[in-house]
């Protein structure tokens, strides 16, 4: 059995899916939902049954990215990449959030992440209460390049699970992959817009970020449809 420790994620949910016949189980989590600037990003990580064996099990310090320091996330990232068999991150821009709304932007980012995978999962554990990856009604259709991506036609089984980023190792892995990728994007953007301190606040509503918005106004990377700007 894979080792666990108190208050750390386990492979319990993943093992149940493998026992039911799954070949490739993915975890998915989003980061940047509450930011004022930058993209919303969705990470996905994929494992097979071999990744649940003791000698191949997940890094001992793995946790939801929100519980790890930036330094720890960077330290653990290569260990995660060595553990999973595939991973990817998809993004939806601030402009897309403004145009389509956050839920549709999340869907677009998540589907982009799936399309980047070389190994396609047959089961996916999605962090959250609702299945935001697929349309929930006929009128809530897809758009743009995702219209014909084929994701609705395959046999991907999606399992929404509350707090999966805390309890499922593969979702925790996806969380760290997404967070480190998005953080680097914001660090790079900060070099162009030093006055917003994105290298430190990553686009969240930190006092120095709010003060910069008040003084300089929004950039093309800000979500101008949000209440902060109205």
Confidence of residue 142 (pLDDT cuts 50, 70, 90): very low
Is 52 part of any domain? Answer: yes
Q: Which domain holds residue 163?
A: 12-188
Q: What does each C-alpha distance from 142 to 98, 111, 113, 132 come to in angstroms?
A: 16, 10, 15, 12
Q: What's the pLDDT tens digit per position in 27-59?
A: 999 999 999 999 999 999 999 999 999 878 899
Task: Count CB atoms within 10 A of the CB of residue 160.
Answer: 15
- Does residue 183 carry a pLDDT above 60? yes
pLDDT recorded at residue 5: 53
Task: Count CB atoms within 10 A of the CB of residue 15.
Answer: 16
Confidence of residue 129 (pLDDT cuts 50, 70, 90): confident
Alpha-carbon gap, residue 22 to 142, rounded angstroms:
27
Q: What is the CATH number of the domain that holds 99?
A: 3.30.420.10
Is 228 part of any domain? Answer: no
What total number of domains does the chain contain?
Answer: 1
Is 49 part of any domain? Answer: yes
Is 21 part of any domain? Answer: yes
Q: What's the pLDDT tens digit per position in 102-122?
A: 999 999 999 999 999 999 999
Alpha-carbon gap, residue 80 to 195, rounded angstroms:
34
| Predicted structure pTM score | 0.90
SS3 154: coil
Is 92 part of any domain? Answer: yes
Is 88 part of any domain? Answer: yes
């Amino acid at each position: 059995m894979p080792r666990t420790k108190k208050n750390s994620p386990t492979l319990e949910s993943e093992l149940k899916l493998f026992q039911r016949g799954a070949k490739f189980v993915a975890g998915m989590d989003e980061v940047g939902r509450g930011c004022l600037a930058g993209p919303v990003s969705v990470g996905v990580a994929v494992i097979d049954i071999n990744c649940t064996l003791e000698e191949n099990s997940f890094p001992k310090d793995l946790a939801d990215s929100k519980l790890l320091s930036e330094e720890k996330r960077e330290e653990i990232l290569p260990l995660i990449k060595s553990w999973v068999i595939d991973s990817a991150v998809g993004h939806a821009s601030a402009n897309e959030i403004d145009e389509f709304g956050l839920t549709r932007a999340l869907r677009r980012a998540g589907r982009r992440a799936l399309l980047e995978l070389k190994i396609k999962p047959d089961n996916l554990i999605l962090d959250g209460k609702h299945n935001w990856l697929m349309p929930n009604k006929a009128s809530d259709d897809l758009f743009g390049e995702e219209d014909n991506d084929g994701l609705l036609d395959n046999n991907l089984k999606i399992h929404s699970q509350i707090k999966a980023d805390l309890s499922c190792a593969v979702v925790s892995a996806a969380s760290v992959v997404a967070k480190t990728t998005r953080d680097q994007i914001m660090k790079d953007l900060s070099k162009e817009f030093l006055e917003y301190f994105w290298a430190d606040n990553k686009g969240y509503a930190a006092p120095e970020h709010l003060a910069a918005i008040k003084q300089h106004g929004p950039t093309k990377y800000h979500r101008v449809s949000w209440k902060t700007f109205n």
